[in-house]
Amino acid sequence: MLVEVIAIYRRVVDFARGWPLVIALPFVCAFIQRASYDLGVVPMEQQRTVAIGFTVVNTTAMLIVTVFAFRWWRFAEDRGATTPLSWRAPVGAIVMLVVQLTDEFLITTLGNMVASLAGVRNALFRPGALLVWLFISIPLYPWYVGLIADDRAMTLRRAFAAIRPRWFSGFALVLGSLLPVMALGMALRYARFTVDGSSGWIIKLADLAIAPLLVATTASAYFAIYERAKCMVTARP
What would the pLDDT profile of 169-181 be if each residue is shown by its tens digit? Answer: 999 999 999 999 9
The answer to whether residue 127 sits within a structural domain is: no
Measured between alpha carbons, how far apart are the two ends of the chain, in Å?
A: 27
The answer to whether residue 125 sits within a structural domain is: no
**Per-residue model confidence (pLDDT) at position 200:** 67
The answer to whether residue 6 sits within a structural domain is: yes
The answer to whether residue 114 sits within a structural domain is: no
Domain count, the chain: 1
State the amino acid at position 231 in one-letter form: C
The answer to whether residue 66 sits within a structural domain is: yes
**Per-residue model confidence (pLDDT) at position 237:** 47
Q: Cβ of 106: how many Cβ atoms within 10 Å?
A: 12
The answer to whether residue 134 sits within a structural domain is: no
The answer to whether residue 107 sits within a structural domain is: no
Q: How far is residue 219 from each of residues 72, 121, 146, measured CA to CA in Å? A: 11, 32, 13
The stretches in the chain having pLDDT less than 50 are 237
Range of the domain at 200: 2-85+154-235
The answer to whether residue 147 sits within a structural domain is: no
